Chain A
Amino acid sequence: DVKVTQSSRYLVKRTGEKVFLECVQDMDHENMFWYRQDPGLGLRLIYFSYDVKMKEKGDIPEGYSVSREKKERFSLILESASTNQTSMYLCASRRGGGVYEQYFGPGTRLTVT
């Protein structure tokens, strides 16, 4: 079974702090994704990566950056957290090169005060 893990289930940070969310997958997947989920807006793609050190912006990249130094790990960075970044953050991975399922982690509920 594919396993996608996220570093924290719940996180509380203060405005202006730098925040790191980490995601690890154990199935050698090429593609990894970061989404945020908000009520009424659904899941929106922040960034995705199709290979080590490769990244592409999704629909809402502003205020975020990402890092993928190893194939199994994809980090989301909030350079200076703001209250409007309070959300559920979901990481996903998928095998590349064809039509394959996405697999999600358990999510991180981030609150910025």
Chain B
Amino acid sequence: KQEVTQIPAALSVPEGENLVLNCSFTDSAIYNLQWFRQDPGKGLTSLLLIQSSQREQTSGRLNASLDKSSGRSTLYIAASQPGDSATYLCAVSPRSTGNQFYFGTGTSLTVIP
């Protein structure tokens, strides 16, 4: 079974800092990896989807990379803002299970004004 780990569990940074969130997974045979944002008590908002054939995806200040061979993905946030404060989750869809996604437990980010 695919295991997904996100370290650290929590992170605090001053406004304006660039930061990197990490996601690691145990089975490198994946269809895709998706990064989400979750605000307290709310649902998940999709940020970026990386297909297995891709190395990275970018959207605005966000850049996600994928290294399947090492079982790792990173989410880079440039020039962080207080509005970026949320929990960030990654989810992996293994080839062995098709539609099923496995989630990490997330990194709780606080950006201090």
Interface residues of chain A, those whose CB is within 8 Å of chain B, are 4, 31, 33, 35, 40-45, 48, 50, 56, 58, 90, 92, 94, 96, 99-107, 109
Task: Flag whether B66 is at the interface (Cβ < 8 A).
Answer: no
CB-CB under 8 A from B61, the residues of chain A are: none
Q: List 22 A-B contacts (CB under 8 A).
A: A41-B105, A42-B4, A42-B89, A43-B89, A43-B103, A44-B103, A45-B100, A45-B101, A48-B99, A50-B99, A58-B100, A90-B43, A90-B44, A96-B99, A99-B32, A99-B51, A101-B34, A101-B46, A102-B46, A104-B44, A104-B45, A106-B42
Interface residue tally for chain B (C-beta within 8 Å): 24
Say yes or no for B106: interface residue by CB 8 A criterion: yes
* B76 is an interface residue with CB less than 8 A from chain A: no
Q: How far is the CB of A86 from chain B (nearest CB, A)?
A: 15
Given contacts A31-B99, A102-B34, A102-B91, contact A42 B51 (CB under 8 A): no
Partner of A42, one of B32, B41, B49, B106: B106
In the complex, the answer to whether A105 meets B41 with C-beta atoms within 8 Å is no
Knowing A48-B100, A58-B100 are in contact, say whether A103-B105 is a contact too (CB < 8 A).
no
